[in-house]
Amino acid sequence: MTNPTPLTPESRLERGRRALDAIDGQAGRDVIDSLAGIAPDFATYLFEFPFGDIYSRPGLSLRDREIATVAALAAMGTAAPQLRVHIEAGLNVGLTQEEITEILMQMAVYAGFPAALNGLAAAREVFAARAGDVTAEPA
C-alpha cells in the first residue's frame, strides 16, 4: 500500500499540514502550537520537509513510515517526547498496541535494554492516555 497522499501541485506547506493532521492528529497540532511563541518558522519547516516532502512520498505506507520512526526514536534514546507523538501517530495509521510493543522490544537487540525499556515506558503512557487512565506514570 502506498501513501494516500500522492505528490500534487499543492504547496509543500499545504501538503505537509494535511499529512501532519492525518498522521499525528492532536499530538502533532500540540507540537506545532508549542512552537508559536518561540519558533513559528520552525513549525513551517516541520510542515514542509518531514510531512510535505518525506511522509508524502510514494513507496512506503504511512504505517511503514511510523514503524521506522518509532524504532529510530526509541533507538536514539534521547527523544521521549517525539517518541510519544509517533507512538500516537502509529496508532492513528493502523499499528496495534501489540505491534508497537514488539517494535520497542526489538530495539533491545540493536539499541540495548535501556532504549527498549524507555520506549516501552513511553508506549505505556500513550496507551494509558488513550484508554483514559490519567493515573499512568509519565515515561
Residue 92's pLDDT is 95
Domains delineated in the chain: 1-59 (no CATH), 61-139 (1.20.1290.10)
- Gyration radius from the chain CA atoms: 15
Nearest to 76 by CA among 47, 124, 90, 68: 68
Residue 26's pLDDT is 87
Report how far apart, in Å, the C-alpha atoms of 78 and of each of 25, 32, 83, 89, 128 are.
Answer: 23, 20, 9, 18, 22
Q: How far is CA 77 from the centre of its chain?
A: 15
- Dmax (CA) of the chain: 46
pLDDT-flagged residues of the chain (< 50): 1, 8, 139
Strand, helix or coil at 20?
helix
